[in-house]
Structure formats: C-alpha cells, structure tokens
Amino acid sequence: MKFKPSRSFAVKKIENFIENNLSQYSKLRNFDFGPEKRSNISCISPYVTHGILTEVEIIKKVLKKSLFVKNEKFIQEILWRIYWKGWLELRPTVWSDYLINLKKKKLEFKDNQNYLKAIEGKTNIECFNQWVLELKELNYLHNHTRMWFASIWTFTLNLPWELGAELFMKHLLDGDSASNTLGWRWVAGIQTKGKHYLASEWNIKKFSNNRFDKIKLNEKAIPVINDKIHSIVKKDFSEARNLNGKNLLVFDNNLSFEITDLKNNKFKNIFIVSNENDTRSIKISDKNINFKKFLIEDQEKRLKEKSIKCEKINIKEIKNIGEPLVALYPSVGENLDFLNTKNIKNIDFIYRKIDKFSWKFCNKGFFNFKNYIPKIIQEFI
C-alpha cells in the first residue's frame, strides 16, 4: 500500500474503488485483512484530510455510479469527517484541553516503561506490536484496528488516551485534529459519556480474518471518567466579500483550490502555507512532513499549469504578506492555533459551503446528524 502525494493518483484511487469495490463495502468494511489486502476499503483518508479529494466530489462520483440507498453506509462514513469537524468547531476547548493534558501526561510518562514499550511495539500483545510497526512504517491503520489499538492502549495497557492520540497524529498520514481526538475520546468513553469501546479477543480474531488469536485483554474495564463540560460556542460564519484582488491563504487542509467554492475568484496571489514541527504542538514524523510538503508542491504545480499566481510559504511568513488577506478556514487544529497564539487577526476567513450548512447539525450525536444527510445531499450534490 503506497500513498502517492498527488491529486491525480488520489482521483484514480477513488474512481477505481467506486468502480470495483464499493458494492461490497458495507459487507466487508470491518475486516482488516492486512496491509497488503486493502481493497475492501477506500484508503483515501490521507487525501480527504488534506482536501486533495473533497467529500462533495466523492459523493458525486458515488451517486453517478449507483443509487444513494445502495451506498448509504459509504456516504455516511464520508460525512463522519464533517460531523467530527463540526462537533469540535462547536466545542473548541476540547482540543485546547487535550493539548494541555497531553503536555502533563508526556511529563508524567516520559520514563514509564509500559509507555516506552508500547510506543516501540514491545508489549506482550503480539497484534498490538504489529500494529505499532504498521503505523510507523505504512502510516495508516484500518478503522477497526484503530479502535482495537486505542482500546488495548487505554484499557489493557492502562495508558492515557492522550498519549495514544499523539502517537497516531505523529505517524498517520491522515492525522486530523477532529477525527483523531474525538475517535480516541469515543473509544475511552468520554465522547459518549460512559460508553466505551472494549476490544475483545473474538472480535479481533474474526475481523482480522484469523490473523490474530489467543490475545489476553482486559475485557471488563470501565470507561475513562472525565466530568469536564465543554459548552457549545456559537459559530460566527461572517465572511469576507468581494474576494477579487485579495491575497488568499490556503492551509494544508484545503489543497485543491481548483475544485473549491472559490475557484472562479481572481485572487491577487495564492499563498500555500506549510506548518513545520517548530510551529506545531504535536511533532509529526519526517514521513508525514514530507507527505504534506509534496502535496503542497503538487498543488502549486497544478495551479501554475492553469496560470494561477501562487507561491509556497511557511506559516511564520504570513505576517509579512500585505493586506487585504483572506483564508480558507483552517479549522480547529494546529494551523488555527498558530494564528491565535501569534495574534494574527487581520485575516478574513472563508468557509466551505458544505461546512457552513452541515456544522449546525453537529450539536448532538452522529445518530442525530445522520437524519440530516438527505438534506445535505440535496443541497450540495
């Protein structure tokens, strides 16, 4: 399995999946057949995280091939990302609290042998050790395996979920502040209070297609307790008008300008912004840094081929760009944190239309959000 950092590769990948494997998705999606056998799932998350493929574009392709009812499960999964993002946007303190607690746990566990063994894949749980290797070498894990991994980490190895979420962010090419933080919180039982995800031997054996068995797990653990209440903030979507002639910032979550809602505007210049480890709270692996770097270069190349004026910059250089300055909203996460901590306030954000429309349905659980999926589809597809 190889993730090439290119939009043309990503488009071929999703088209191939829709053509050949989508019809079996709902039946087979929960199986992790191993890293060499990934055709039962799409493996497009590193591209969707970076906006190389957009949710609207993917769902349009799916519905061109066959009906909504036949692909409901896949479409729901595609929209989970927007749901998690919207949920976090409404409660941004979940992210800032996570980073504060992560700092504390890192200090507390820096010499903890169980932690050090876990991140090296040297525990006495064989499947877990293999997944650590897979995470570091292939920078991707199957969704079910992420759930097993997070559950074993939290409930059998008794390690803080914050440190596990950091390990994922460091190595996953699709590392995403919302999907990852909330995915870990969900497993721990603090996202849906009191409901945790407990991995079990039979489930791992069955859905790993018998690759693993005789796994000794704590199958009776109780959920992690966290009583902190995060109040919902009202999201202000006021936006810049008359975009023509302004400078535009594009962050690493929106790297396909040419298919965004803004593609017809004539910007003065487009700045494609990279964020390196010296300006991130969670340091990511070199492979991850390079993947982002190549995706940014791919975006620059595609824009230049269309004679659209653009250049790459480091996030620290934003302050040198003249006004008026607008930006595709980077979402709660490292890029927005940088702007806030450096007090960079002269930027007007522009939101994706689908986010503006959908985030208002993210105040409750996903089951509630699901009811609005037909509305979202009707509006955008």
Ligand X SMILES: Cc1cc2nc3c(=O)[nH]c(=O)nc-3n(C[C@H](O)[C@H](O)[C@H](O)COP(=O)(O)OP(=O)(O)OC[C@H]3O[C@@H](n4cnc5c(N)ncnc54)[C@H](O)[C@@H]3O)c2cc1C
Q: Are 287 and 45 in contact (CB under 8 A)?
A: no
Residue nearest ligand X (C-beta atom): 183
Stretch that binds ligand X, among 176-184, 257-265, 320-328, 348-356 (CB under 6 A): 176-184
Minimum CB separation from ligand X for residue 77, in Å? 4
Minimum CB separation from ligand X for residue 161, in Å? 9
> Residue 32's closest CA among 159, 144, 135, 120?
144
x/- string (CB under 6 A) for ligand X, residues 53-82? ------------------------xx-xx-
Residues 110-149 that bind ligand X (CB under 6 A): 143, 146-147
Stretch that binds ligand X, among 41-49, 125-133, 232-240, 294-302 (CB under 6 A): 41-49
Is the Cβ of residue 29 or residue 246 nearer to ligand X in the bound state?
A: 29
- Give just the sign of the alpha carbon dihedral 187, 190, 193, 194: positive
Which residue among 51, 92, 160, 183 contacts ligand X (CB under 6 A)? 183
Stretch that binds ligand X, among 171-179, 225-233, 237-245, 295-303 (CB under 6 A): 171-179
Rounded to whole angstroms, what are the CA distances from 207 to 186, 203, 210, 213? 20, 6, 7, 11
Give yes or no for residue 43 binding ligand X (CB under 6 A).
Answer: yes
**Spatial distance between the Cα atoms of 123 and 134, rounded to a whole number of angstroms:** 15
Q: What is the 3-state secondary structure (H, E, C) of the chain?
A: CCCCCCHHHHHHHHHHHHHHCHHHHHHHCCCCCCCCCCCCCCCCHHHHHCCCCCHHHHHHHHHHHCCCHHHHHHHHHHHHHHHHHHHHHHCCHHHHHHHHHHHHHHHHHCCCHHHHHHHCCCCCCHHHHHHHHHHHHHCCCCHHHHHHHHHHHHHHCCCCHHHHHHHHHHHCCCCCHHHHHHHHHHHHCCCCCCCCCCCCHHHHHHHCCCCCCCCCCCCCCCCCCCCCCCCCCCCCCCCCCCCCCCEEEECCCCCCHHHCCCCCCCCCEEEEEECCHHHCCCCCCHHHHHHHHHHHHHHHHHHHHCCCCEEEEEHHHHHHCCCCEEEECCCCCHHHHHHHHCCCCCEEEECCHHHHHHHHHCCCCHHHHHCCHHHHHHHHC
Stretch that binds ligand X, among 40-48, 214-222, 237-245, 350-358 (CB under 6 A): 40-48
Which residue among 102, 127, 172, 318 contacts ligand X (CB under 6 A)? 172
Give yes or no for residue 154 binding ligand X (CB under 6 A).
Answer: no
Give yes or no for residue 174 binding ligand X (CB under 6 A).
Answer: yes
Which residue among 87, 153, 168, 251 contacts ligand X (CB under 6 A)? 168
Give yes or no for residue 152 binding ligand X (CB under 6 A).
Answer: no
Is the Cβ of residue 266 or residue 364 nearer to ligand X in the bound state?
A: 364
Give yes or no for residue 29 binding ligand X (CB under 6 A).
Answer: yes
Minimum CB separation from ligand X for residue 309, in Å? 31
How many residues line the site for ligand X (CB under 6 A)?
Answer: 27
Which residue among 41, 315, 318, 373 contacts ligand X (CB under 6 A)? 41
**Spatial distance between the Cα atoms of 208 and 121, rounded to a whole number of angstroms:** 18
Give yes or no for residue 291 binding ligand X (CB under 6 A).
Answer: no
For tokens 């979402």, the residue is 331
Which residue among 10, 14, 84, 207 contacts ligand X (CB under 6 A)? 84
Give yes or no for residue 332 binding ligand X (CB under 6 A).
Answer: no
Give yes or no for residue 281 binding ligand X (CB under 6 A).
Answer: no
Which residue among 14, 48, 59, 88 contacts ligand X (CB under 6 A)? 48
Q: Are 83 and 369 in contact (CB under 8 A)?
A: yes
Minimum CB separation from ligand X for residue 360, in Å? 19
Which residue among 11, 18, 49, 352 contacts ligand X (CB under 6 A)? 49
Give yes or no for residue 350 binding ligand X (CB under 6 A).
Answer: no
Which residue among 167, 187, 262, 284 contacts ligand X (CB under 6 A)? 187
Binding site for ligand X (CB under 6 A): 29, 41-45, 48-49, 77-78, 80-81, 84, 143, 146-147, 150, 168, 172, 174-176, 179-180, 183-184, 187
